[in-house]
Structure 1
Amino acid sequence: MTRKVEVVPHNRHWQSLFTDESQQLSIACGDNAIAIHHIGSTAIETIYAKPIIDILIEVKDLNKVDDRNMAIESLGYIAMGEFGIPCRRFFRKDDNSGIRTHHIHTFEVGLPQIARHLAFRDYLRSHPEAAQQYSQLKQKLAQQYPADIEGYMDGKAEFIKEIDNQASTL
């Protein structure tokens, strides 16, 4: 199934959607969860984003996440395993009409992927000019690749690397 690539203006409800979901996920993950973070573009108030809430869960033991798949799936998620990124557990959630609403990226505490995601988010939150450049790039790419998520993602890759490099020097 081809998914439409759409970016929309920031929705002030995204934060409360994250908060509600994180409370349920905290229960589903049990005491293995150390922290639950709102990441991705929906966590940056000033920019356009795909309307999908990205959640990063830090856990004590990644293998124990697999034991909690049923609890997480009971919240409407599909367990995808590593889904192309080693040492990650990925989950996705669609609404009743098949529209993607949430992604969960689960990593064991201390892995560099956690720091990278948080640094990227925090950099864009504290650098409005860079955030607007990213927002404009996302809008342009969504128009250029309306049915090609790979093209859209590839088009963002260089900018993301640049921000990652700048954020890592802070």
Structure 2
Amino acid sequence: MDEDADLPIRLSHHDPRWRQEFQQIRSGVLQCGQGMITQVEHIGGTALPGRISQPIIDVLAGVHDADQMDEAALSIEGLYFRPLPPPHWDSSAVRLIKPRGGPVTHQLFLMPIGTPAWHAALAIRDHLRADTEASLRFEDAKVGIWKRTGGDPEDYPRAKDGVFTHLMEQLNLP
């Protein structure tokens, strides 16, 4: 369980250092993955330039061989990540957070490249990067949910799921 799971969700204005943070994590994950991890992508709100987001770098890491998931996850743990239960949107993914203690700064989802969840995460990110109006609506929805829920760590993510469901329907994603 997250040590900071009971703390209210925080939102921050875009920080240009988020991109650099992602690049550092990407480099470390690819290196420690020793060829098992072949693709690392920046997803989530911090991947959207200029948008308000939770200050947590979301990372999507992919393997081509699903049989290497456990070994790849162990290699990522060596970068001071710790495992958590899988995300509700893909029970086959491995979810890891950093640091091992204290407030979460990074969240990594490890999964086989090419799964529906892999494609959906990238399609949503790419859509929001390419369509400024959609990105602004997404930001407005998140901020509205945050205000309505008071940043409650259970209510906020649950309510935000509806925004992602709507985006997936718009993009005809499974």
Which of 58, 65, 68 is the equivalent residue of 1:61? Answer: 65
1:61-115: CA deviations, max 9, x gaps? 233231244432221100225354322111011376x111001111112201111
Tell me the distance in 1 between the aligned counterparts of 2:96 and 2:66. Answer: 13
Tell me the distance in 1 between the aligned counterparts of 2:118 and 2:108. Answer: 12
Tell me the distance in 1 between the aligned counterparts of 2:8 and 2:26. Answer: 26
Rate the CA distance shift 1:50–1:74 in 2: closer, same or farther, 3 A.
same
Indicate the residue corresponding to 1:52 in structure 2. Answer: 56
Say what the alpha-carbon RMSD is for the aligned residues. Answer: 1.9
Matches within 5 A, 1:29-48: 29-48=33-52
Indicate the residue corresponding to 2:16 in structure 1. Answer: 12
Question: Structure 2, unaligned stretches of length 5 or more?
Answer: none
Q: Tell me, yes or no, if the aligned pair for 1:123 and 1:163 is still in contact at 8 Å.
A: no
Q: How many residues align?
A: 168
Considering fraction of residues, name the structure with more helix. Answer: 1
Tell me the distance in 1 between the aligned counterparts of 2:87 and 2:140. Answer: 28
Determine whether 1:87 maps to 2:96.
Answer: no
Identity %: 23
Which of 96, 112, 116 is the equivalent residue of 1:112? Answer: 116
Indicate the residue corresponding to 2:80 in structure 1. Answer: 76
Which of 141, 147, 159 is the equivalent residue of 2:145? Answer: 141
Give the alignment's TM-score, normalised by structure 1: 0.89
Question: Structure 1, unaligned stretches of length 5 or more?
Answer: none
